Amino acid sequence: MKISRYFTTAGNSPYATIPFEPRKSEIRNPDGSTVFLMENVMVPAHWSQVATDILAQKYFRKAGLTVGRAAGLEYAGETATAIVPTAEHETDSRQVFHRLAGCWRAWGEANGYFDSADDAQTFYDELVYMLAKQIAAPNSPQWFNTGLHWAYGIAGPAQGHWYCEPQWP
């Protein structure tokens, strides 16, 4: 498959034009006690607080990350430091975007879907840009589970119903 660029530029980070900022995500009981609190949640600056809260409270992987380990993709002159965990849980939306798009890219490469490595990189760049800009989004189970083994080496039995047939008739 040949992939064309629409939102991104080859050789530049897909986040080059997207400012990120730290936010606080918090849920409180009616009595004021805290149910959930995460500070310094890095998200695109244009995201609503609701989007920030959903990502932090529901979709960040909360356990099992190896600090300093992540499958990496780098750009000319830029290291992918935002995607490398500094805690045992995800704290930055770019970690989630990378986990999803990187895994989808890896699956595509493993199954020979892309015409070239450049097409695979374009696929990845365009997807992370679209996720960050909220132009496209997968369904909820993808946000929770996709890429955990690919990005962080987290393994375990399948927990749900799924089927993949990479060989089409």
Looking at the domain assignment, is residue 168 inside a domain?
A: no
Per the CB < 8 A criterion, the answer to whether 14 and 8 are in contact is yes
Structural domain of residue 39, as residue ranges? 20-152
Stretch 21-38: mean pLDDT: 92
Mapping DSSP to helix (H, G, I), strand (E, B) and coil, where does residue 92 land? strand
Q: Name 27's bridge partners.
A: 36
Looking at the domain assignment, is residue 169 inside a domain?
A: no
Looking at the domain assignment, is residue 134 inside a domain?
A: yes
For the four alpha carbons of 135, 136, 140 and 144, in that order, the dihedral sign comes to: negative
Percent residues over pLDDT 70 in the chain: 79
pLDDT at residue 168 in the model: 60
Looking at the domain assignment, is residue 166 inside a domain?
A: no
Looking at the domain assignment, is residue 157 inside a domain?
A: no
Q: Count of domains in the chain?
A: 1
Q: What is the pLDDT of residues 53-72, one digit of tens each?
A: 999 999 998 887 766 566 65
| pTM summary value | 0.85
Nearest to 55, CA basis, from 151, 142, 147? 142
pLDDT at residue 100 in the model: 93
Looking at the domain assignment, is residue 4 inside a domain?
A: no
Q: Please, what is the average pLDDT of the chain? A: 85
Nearest to 8, CA basis, from 96, 108, 138, 101? 101
